[in-house]
Amino acid sequence: MIPSPQGAGFTALPRNRTNVHHVVAAIVVFTMTVSALVWLTRPMGNSRNGELIPGDGVLSSHMDGHTWVTREHAISSLAQVVSSGPEHIALAMRSENIGDAERTWWRELTTRTSVSGVERQLTLRRLQAGNVEQTLVIGPGTELRVFKPGLPELPASTRPGSAWKAEGRVQVSHDLQTMTETGWRYQARASTPEDPGQAAPGCLRITSELEIDGRIENTDRTWCPGLGPVPSASQQPVTVPPLTLASDLDWRVEDWNPTSTSLSQREPVVWPVELPPVGNRDVMVVAHRTAGDLLFMGTNDKTFRAHPGGYVTSLTRQGDLILVTTTTPNATGYDLQGRPRWRTRLPDTVPFAPDWREGRVVMVDASGTVTALDGATGSILWQQELDAGPTAKAIWCGDHVVVPTSDGLTGINAQSGETAWSLDLQERPNSVACISGHVVAAANPRLVVASPDGNLLSAHTMAEDNLGELLNVDDTLVTLSRNSIRGFTLGGDELRATWRVGGRFHSMVTDGHVIAALSSDTLVALGSSGGQLGSWPMTAATPATNLSLGTLQQGVASLGMDGIVRKSS
């Protein structure tokens, strides 16, 4: 489970985005104001504040009474997130102080869950010359604060015994539409934490008092190296409701209605996306490559973020769980409310999509280590190192996990994680599927069939090369090539071609019974026998259009670099 002294969470987007964008557009101007900081007590010594700033993607989860609190930390420049859709930071680049967007910023994303509902908060801090300045808070409900100058939460050279105070102006909105301005006064003191476990690693206890318009807010937080603010030692471990990890795909093609929706309500944005969206009927999740964020888009205009750290390399959904692998390299499980449930460190980055079966998930990383996890807890069930580098995703097949490698195929016992067999192939396989308990691999230009115990049974030479991903659709092997989609059945040890649909399709996915395939201008639904179930025109393709389909609970979606979600469900 998630260790207590780390940070996680995010914030809900406001409903009236246009007005909030105008409000936050001034954020960079505000933070350039000269700070009114006055040191009351400032011991000599070198600054260690840089050590107290959390690492990118650090997260924590704890109970505060009956409230479940998660915090997540994102360290980046504003330039990295400015293009990523309808976010409250996005229009900061409108400021004349463009250089501020290249400075390092820290977003602390907090989610509080109780019986009364879910509250989200964003705290934005600027990191400059050893100073940590709080510049903006979008708090629970609809409150927004913009401090000018930035609130000096942790000035440079802060040590135990340091004390400081500052004052300035703050703009406040309670409805995210109208703003009022008033004064703020702030004073704080640093001390050594009373908990010996926190004092030893060089943590600092910061107690502070903030006065805004006559209202006093007291804060007592402990900051620790590499973690930032951490939960207090007295806070309880997390007890959370269980996750449902059963597949819930329910495609009803007759009800599909293609739509196109922009992620930005203002000017077009550029979405550097490589991974297709995932989601259920209530939430769709997309990954932004540059910002490293996950954007959870829900019903009723409820949109919020998560930040797993690094860059996202794979994104899948199984029941209530969103599974993300990143370059950190970690695997992180989120629930559909965007709250981190667990995080597991992996030996290396995972370049291929994971594969699920009965609550377990298997993945292979760039180092050639195959890892099986418990999807509910993130616990490692087993790990196995390959003798050759992986060339495609690992899959469950009967009693084995099968991994395509540069030498051929490797079968691993699904229960013990021990290598069970290996099969050398002349060609390097780039995809694999499990059909009737047999292994079928695309090793261009051949389709290779192997028995459950790894014996080569047959090979089928394809007239069309460049075979893409293989799918199992009602125990029919479906292949995607440059000019067609084809179906094969397995009779004995041999594959038999049963149908072909011509066309230049770029992507195909399945719910296990229906095939959805996307060309430049058309979405087609096919049955397992190749019959067309439906066809819909799609938005005209442009160089900015991503033609990779993502699987939703009731349909499919694709997200283009133009920030347009093309969805059928």
- Distances from the Cα of 385 to the Cαs of 332, 365, 381, 412, 492, in angstroms? 21, 10, 14, 10, 32
> What's this model's pTM, rounded to 2 decimal places?
0.87
Sign of the CA dihedral with 203 first, then 205, 113, and 11 last: negative
Find tokens 């609190």 and name the residue. Answer: 69
Q: How far is CA 320 from the centre of its chain?
A: 14
Q: Can you tell me whether residue 479 is helix, strand or coil?
A: strand
**Residues β-bridged to residue 206:** 190, 221
Query: Rounded to 5 degrees, what are φ and ψ at 100?
Result: -65, -30
**Which whole-number Å values give the CA distances from 57 to 115, 188, 292, 307, 392, in the listed order?**
27, 27, 9, 6, 27
Tokens of 27: 């954020």
What pLDDT score was predicted for residue 32?
32
- The residue whose two tokens read 């099969």 is 423
Structure tokens at 415: 């229960």
- The answer to whether the CB of 154 falls within 8 A of the CB of 42 is no
pLDDT for the residue numbered 22: 34
Structure tokens at 158: 């802060």
Series of mean pLDDT values for 10-residue runs along the chain (569 residues) = 32 30 32 52 55 92 88 83 50 42 81 89 88 87 83 92 95 83 96 85 94 94 92 70 91 88 54 79 85 79 82 95 96 94 96 96 98 97 97 97 98 98 95 97 93 95 80 97 93 93 92 93 93 83 63 87 69
Residues 141 and 145: their CA atoms lie apart, in Å, by: 12
SS3 labels along 341-376: EEEEECCCCCCCCCEEECCEEEEECCCCEEEEEECC
> Residue ranges per domain, the chain?
17-230
Task: Give the full edge-to-edge strand order of the sheet including 312-318.
Answer: 312-318, 321-326, 330-335, 340-345
At 262, phi and psi to the nearest 5? Answer: -80, 140
What pLDDT does 42 receive? 53
E strands present in 129-277: 131-138, 144-154, 163-173, 180-191, 204-212, 215-224, 228-230, 259-262
E runs forming strands in 263-389: 278-279, 283-288, 293-298, 303-306, 312-318, 321-326, 330-335, 340-345, 355-357, 360-364, 369-374, 380-385
Query: 425: number of CA atoms within 13 Å, CB side?
Result: 31
pLDDT at site 291: 79
Classify strands 395-397 and 204-212 as parallel, antiparallel or unpaired: unpaired
> For residues 275 and 313, what is the distance between their CA atoms, to the nearest angstrom?
8
- pLDDT score recorded for residue 129: 84
Exposed, middle or buried: residue 214 (CB in 10 Å: 0-12, 13-18, 19+)?
Answer: exposed
Q: What residue ranges in 213-275 does DSSP mark as E strands?
A: 215-224, 228-230, 259-262
